[in-house]
Structure 1
């Protein structure tokens, strides 16, 4: 797609075929042979000329009027270019009929077949122009004539193209009801296949959809536009077009200031775009999308926070809330009322600022309170997924979520909800903890051991690992605990016990993930690796690991790695000797292993031999 600076004005595009048509008129007047055929050519050209001039007048009046919607130019440019090409063919043929020397006439033989071919081309252009005038409703005063289902000759080989043109023209230029209908039709087309999506984007369908999405007076219009945009936003290239058309601030504005049914789709669009495009992921955070998402997620989710545990910034927020509510109620609030107001407004106010966030639009608050529970649930599901996609692989976005107190809300939802909402919140926690694992500053700021939010998160993660029989939930919970391994003191043995227990899970993926998580406690990257290794052994981790080594290759590798770390950090343990770990490692050393693991096994064998030297003859009588 060429930019507007590279393209001529649409009036200039139309002026070229008009100029060629006038040249055909002159050539017909000068024709000496095939006068009847030339006259027939002129009839077709004259008809085209009238339609071209009608279209020019319409385009000029539309582009010069600030009250008119912008002209949809894509089909005009395509049809004008094809019409000019066919008029050039007509001009070349008619010029051959002019009086010339005998030699030139012999060389330039004209046949009736050539005229039939040119007339067919001109007929096609007439059909294209009639269709073009109909989709803009030029005879009816302009502004778009609704959806036109007829097929112009220019799109005979690709009917979808003409349909897309008609729908986009209607979305951009018609009355609101027609725009809504066209957006719904475009959404259906986009849902069918990726080729349709590609055509819609290439034919400039994104800008009018974004404009319709901003139609605050009509939630129905916003839903239709958002649905179409969501279907388009499943590919990096198409998402980048939405970003480049300044779609990110539009989506954030709609998320902040719309009814819940519209906010659900806005959150879906954020999730889609952030999932496929890291630029969109960054832009949404820059436009402050995280606060309204957390606000909506926390709606009706009350978080009990003892007054003594609130930090200075939070106390300041309560003071501000107290002042505001005090003005309304005519007096001061009690401490109990303060805590309740804090719980209810925790996500509607900025940290320490006391100002209403973009998501806390009071115009919609009463409407939200009376909303259908199913709608409330769906908006939370969508917001949780959006936060998940925004946090994925992003330290800065994860930090912003923790700064909005979003982690406490996520933990509360994981505790009290089930299904997709619980899963999305858990996945968001997993991404935030993964970011914390890679960034010490975030880890220290968000997951201090005395932090209420951190405690709440860990409690729920451990509960899921121990009590919920669902690998889809247990695996991200274990990943999260593993990511936080460096935050736990040596005395916090309760986080290790359930992981050790899952080493014996019948589900190999769960057992494998338990080994991966425990490795982060026992590896040398962890300052307390010796203490944690001893704790793993105390909870009977060694027999479980020995059983794991006999399972499939993936779990074998992770279990072997963990066993090596236990041997290196607690080599004098009787549990290692009783389980014949040295013999198992010597056997593993004879198999095909990745270089890094082979080196780790060799070091573990050397270390164990320091404690159990002279026992090889006894060990060789046993099988692992």
Structure 2
């Protein structure tokens, strides 16, 4: 740590001083003069290169990692050379002549080390040449680890090179990061993240920004490296670029946001504090017509004028996100025009990426879920789920699923965002139910069922259509879908749900009991299915459907095994079995037996 705190000039001053001392001591040598002269020649050449390096360090954007590493090795070599030449300052005698036999090999070794140091510093000077581009030659210091030299060269070029060389170097780092975890770790340790963020932030070239975003995306595949990006002010830079860059850049940046939010909770919350959800929702909602009715007005088809106004307002909101970076309306207007000219496939990719980012940002985060639902996001998501297909539709469903999961444990968010009588809440619930009813793909149906289950406490008792749709999925051909339906129904019938009795009656009325019994035959559905059966026993224990399904025998037969694995369910099973014995004929005799 003490070495890292020194300036680069301080680091270089010591080997320069040592080189001068080697030269002076070699000139004063009384023995092995030829060998000392050779050492002095090498030290002189090394000193000249080191002084050239000092002149380079006046640049504020200098990449200093290889300088510090090479300077450390050069210092050790010069210390060894100085120790050797100082032994030669006395006139030779017989004893020293005997000792000199062994010192010849030492001179050869030190000369070899000095030559390697000269080559290292020469290579160092080459990578700081702004017109040379990335240097792929290997210095002696990296002979056993060539990747290190490439990483140094690429990072130095990204930090100090011309634009095209910076692009090429960023792409090269991105490719290195794909290869293996060691390369990623090396790039981060050698301080490669700040130059990449600088290229992403400052470049006027979309190609350069894409190269930087791709390299950062490839690096950000675990929590530690994501945290490193966030700690280098990466979150603020990414938010700014997402709001202001061209669409093809925004696609890569949104993908980076999704990965970072997915892997690190700190980065996820930091994105929320920087309000990244707003530009994501605006990008997702471009070209989406939100025919939101008011409470006092019936739903009607918007006029052409209103559609134009909506799109203009969305674009205006987008470019006012960071008004301090805009220098006038003409600049904002140009960007708006450029966006309108983007091909449909680019817009589609951006929407997919933004939906993915919103999904990952919402997952388990109350802060981000609130910020998302405070915008028009719910209406936008519902409309896209209704109109779109494929990956975009799936990502929007996953976003709703995560928003609903957070709302399940937060009463305020649930009541404000997903109120069934509100336009946004109604639109979301209608689309979730439509997907459950009309779609067969588990990738679509499962998140819709999970979302409905998470929102079970918001539904009134009289709205039985919702329970009916979920009950029907107990017979779905895919066991994963059937199991999720069972879990969701358990949330409707759970005693924590205020309307649990009415919902339990609806489950029975929609023939849920025989469907549940069929599901219990599968091992994967056992636990959740038995829990749901217990809830039904508690709330509608006098149901003929439960009696005909021999629910009491099933619960008694499974109780011991389930309770042994899940002791927290002991009381639930005991209450359910006791309740059924009160209603089913022969129940008391059965219990005695």
Q: TM-score per shorter chain, which class?
A: over 0.9
- How many angstroms apart in 2 are the aligned matches of 1:30 and 1:355? 72
Q: Determine if the alignment matches structure 1 residue 87 to structure 2 residue 78.
A: yes
Match of 1:118 in 2: 110
- How many angstroms apart in 2 are the aligned matches of 1:154 and 1:596? 62
Match of 1:24 in 2: 22
Give the Å deviation of 1:355.
9.9
Give the Å deviation of 1:590.
3.9
Q: Deviations over 1:285-337 (max 9, x none)?
A: 111211110000000111112355689xxxxxxxxxxxxxxxxxxxxxxx956
Q: Deviations over 1:48-83 (max 9, x none)?
A: 0111111112223x24xxxxxx11111111111111
For the Cα contact (< 8 Å) 1:255–1:267, is it kept in 2? Answer: yes
| Matches for 1:393-412 after TM superposition, within 5 Å | 393-412=364-383
- How many angstroms apart in 1 are the aligned matches of 2:128 and 2:343? 41
Give the Å deviation of 1:113.
1.1
Pick from 120, 123, 126 the counterpart of residue 131 of structure 1. Answer: 123
Q: How many residues align?
A: 581
Give the Å deviation of 1:464.
1.4
| Matches for 1:366-515 after TM superposition, within 5 Å | 366-515=337-486
Give the Å deviation of 1:98.
2.4
For the Cα contact (< 8 Å) 2:235–2:267, is it kept in 1? Answer: yes
For the Cα contact (< 8 Å) 2:243–2:319, is it kept in 1? Answer: no
The alpha-carbon distance between structure 1 residues 618 and 244, as it changes in their structure 2 partners (threshold 3 A), is: closer
For the Cα contact (< 8 Å) 2:582–2:588, is it kept in 1? Answer: no
- How many angstroms apart in 1 are the aligned matches of 2:223 and 2:2? 20
Match of 1:57 in 2: 55
Q: Deviations over 1:401-430 (max 9, x none)?
A: 010110110111111111111111111101
Give the Å deviation of 1:611.
1.0
The alpha-carbon distance between structure 1 residues 515 and 296, as it changes in their structure 2 partners (threshold 3 A), is: same
Q: Which has the higher helix share?
A: 2
- How many angstroms apart in 2 are the aligned matches of 1:222 and 1:179? 10
Match of 2:531 in 1: 561
Q: Deviations over 1:23-52 (max 9, x none)?
A: 111221222221111111111111101111
Give the Å deviation of 1:343.
4.2
For the Cα contact (< 8 Å) 2:580–2:587, is it kept in 1? Answer: no
For the Cα contact (< 8 Å) 2:42–2:111, is it kept in 1? Answer: yes
Give the Å deviation of 1:194.
1.5
For the Cα contact (< 8 Å) 1:384–1:424, is it kept in 2? Answer: yes
| Matches for 1:567-606 after TM superposition, within 5 Å | 567-593=537-563, 594-606=566-578
3-state SS of 1:524 partner: coil
Match of 1:206 in 2: 193
Give the Å deviation of 1:20.
0.5
Match of 1:97 in 2: 88
3-state SS of 1:423 partner: helix
Match of 1:332 in 2: none
Match of 1:331 in 2: none
Match of 1:36 in 2: 34
Give the Å deviation of 1:509.
1.1
Match of 1:323 in 2: none
CA RMSD in angstroms comes to: 2.6
Match of 2:209 in 1: 222
Give the Å deviation of 1:3.
9.7
Q: Determine if the alignment matches structure 1 residue 239 to structure 2 residue 210.
A: no
Q: Determine if the alignment matches structure 1 residue 252 to structure 2 residue 243.
A: no
The alpha-carbon distance between structure 1 residues 355 and 380, as it changes in their structure 2 partners (threshold 3 A), is: closer
Query: Mean Cα displacement is larger for which, 167-176 or 610-619?
Result: 610-619
Give the Å deviation of 1:208.
1.1
- How many angstroms apart in 2 are the aligned matches of 1:215 and 1:336? 42
The alpha-carbon distance between structure 1 residues 356 and 462, as it changes in their structure 2 partners (threshold 3 A), is: same
- How many angstroms apart in 1 are the aligned matches of 2:364 and 2:560? 38
- How many angstroms apart in 2 are the aligned matches of 1:309 and 1:214? 47
3-state SS of 2:541 partner: coil
Residue segments in structure 2 that go unaligned for 5+ positions in a row: 327-331
Residue segments in structure 1 that go unaligned for 5+ positions in a row: 64-69, 138-142, 312-334
Give the Å deviation of 1:456.
1.1
The alpha-carbon distance between structure 1 residues 203 and 308, as it changes in their structure 2 partners (threshold 3 A), is: same
Give the Å deviation of 1:378.
0.4
- How many angstroms apart in 2 are the aligned matches of 1:104 and 1:289? 78
Match of 1:516 in 2: 487
- How many angstroms apart in 1 are the aligned matches of 2:453 and 2:538? 20
3-state SS of 2:280 partner: helix
For the Cα contact (< 8 Å) 1:306–1:339, is it kept in 2? Answer: no
Give the Å deviation of 1:189.
0.9
- How many angstroms apart in 2 are the aligned matches of 1:124 and 1:485? 72
- How many angstroms apart in 2 are the aligned matches of 1:120 and 1:618? 94
For the Cα contact (< 8 Å) 1:530–1:570, is it kept in 2? Answer: yes
Match of 2:169 in 1: 182
Query: Mean Cα displacement is larger for which, 458-467 or 536-545?
Result: 458-467
